[in-house]
Amino acid sequence: MNKVIRVPIKEAEAVRLRIKEAGKLDPARKIKVIDNGKRFIEIPVTDDIRGFQTYCQEDSHFYSKWLSLGERLKGNITDAQHRMLPSGWHILGDVIVVTIDPAIEHLKDKIAGSLLKMYPSCNTVVRDLGINGQFRKPEREILTGNNTETIHRENGCLFRLDVTKVMFSKGNLHEKALMSRIAEHETVVDMFAGIGYFTIPMAVHSSPEKIIAIEINPQSYRYLLENITLNHVEHIVEAFNGDCAQLTPPGVADRVIMGYVGTTHHYLQNGIRAIKKTGGMLHYHETTPEPLIFERPVSRIMKAALEEGRHVEIKECRKVKKYSPGVWHVVVDAWVH
């Protein structure tokens, strides 16, 4: 029995992510759009999903079997080189971003060529060499192709970016999906907006009253403006280019997003100050050593709130992803009043 659940189109991406995280998404079958008077999505599952009725899919569409990167290069490389091949990569629009071990750098052209054969809709492959500086500028080497500007589609939103100029994290899909389901009729301040990672899905899906999006990096700000227009949310989002320490407005927000990691704690008082005196929610991101995984961000929020004469209730702490060995990217949701 090819099991599926049926989900309204607007909810499909968030539900798919939850099923994937639970390990119950069937990777062999394609998601289908069904229209029997009312459009919805059929998501292929391997087991029953609590809260959803399970159906038997009669006309399943399967993905074609394809050769992996290792299978494509087998016979042309040694076993040791095979073990060092990248096991994953990011696809942003029609650009593939891949990290290659320096020990097999001489194979980078073969790897790039094989990746393009695996993804014929892509036209450019770039090698990821890390992220540097306050502006988190990616260091990337073009391996094949020359079109590094692309439009990436995610969760019903469009993001224009140049992968050699600005970063785009695909590792926090759950967090971005969560932000797209809250803030109805609210005023939101996104203090580290980037190209609109949280601002755009929130504006597209959540029907907020207003989003004030602040971004210090001129390159990211340019793409933020383009993405606001691209997604037709000019009536919701007001964007500013500059330091959020100076630009974050006090006392206006029902919700504040602090989605940057690194030096975010230096701006906690600005974020807390932005929340209305009647109260509001703070979403605070931090990279934290595992022994202090939630203790440090919570204590920092408490200290900043105390200095501002505000009270805090911690609503939820959650892990986003492993940032580096022994370090986690975490989020703390705190109600400030």
d(CA 191, CA 257) in angstroms, rounded, equals 6
3-state class (DSSP) for residue 57: coil
Backbone angles phi, psi at 335, to 5 degrees: -85, 120
Query: 320 with 172: CB under 8 angstroms?
Result: yes
**DSSP 8-class letter at 13:** H
> Could you tell me the pTM of the whole model?
0.78
d(CA 328, CA 337) in angstroms, rounded, equals 28
Q: What's the start-to-end Cα distance of the chain, in Å? A: 52
3-state class (DSSP) for residue 69: helix
Residue 171's pLDDT band (cuts 50, 70, 90): low
Which token pair is 173? 């899909």
What is the arithmetic mean of pLDDT over 105-126? 94
What is the arithmetic mean of pLDDT over 139-146? 94
Lowest mean pLDDT among 79-83, 113-117, 128-132, 194-198: 128-132
User: For the chain, percent helix, then strand, then coil, each to nearest 5?
Assistant: 30, 35, 35
For the stretch 269-296, pLDDT in tens is 999 999 999 999 999 999 999 999 999 9
Which token pair is 162? 């140049």
d(CA 211, CA 249) in angstroms, rounded, equals 12
- Mean pLDDT for the chain overall: 92
Percent of the chain with pLDDT over 90: 71
Query: 91 with 125: CB under 8 angstroms?
Result: no
Q: Long-range contacts of range 19-23, CB-CB < 8 Å, 24 or more positions apart?
A: 19/43, 19/45, 19/49, 21/174
The pLDDT value recorded for residue 247 is 98
The residue ranges of every structural domain in the chain are 3-56, 69-147, 171-336
d(CA 106, CA 178) in angstroms, rounded, equals 41
Higher-pLDDT residue of 334, 67: 334
d(CA 145, CA 291) in angstroms, rounded, equals 44
For the stretch 39-92, pLDDT in tens is 889 999 998 998 898 988 877 887 766 688 999 998 889 999 999 999 889 999
Nearest residue to 252 (alpha-carbon basis) of 307, 178, 191: 191
d(CA 190, CA 210) in angstroms, rounded, equals 11
Does domain 171-336 sit in CATH 3.40.50.150?
yes
Burial level of 93, CB count in 10 A (0-12/13-18/19+)?
A: buried
What is the arithmetic mean of pLDDT over 138-150? 94
How many Cβ atoms sit within 10 Å of the Cβ of residue 244?
22
Lowest mean pLDDT among 23-27, 87-91, 166-170: 166-170
Q: Over 70: is that where the pLDDT of 119 sits?
A: yes
The pLDDT value recorded for residue 1 is 62
Cβ-count burial 31-50 (b if 16+ within 10 Å, e if not): bbeeeeeeebbbbbbbeebe
Q: Over 80: is that where the pLDDT of 135 sits?
A: no
Distances (CA, A) of 13 to 24, 61, 90: 15, 19, 18
Q: Over 70: is that where the pLDDT of 312 sits?
A: yes
Provide the CA 167 distance to its chain's centre, in angstroms: 11
CATH number attached to the domain at 69-147: 3.30.300.110
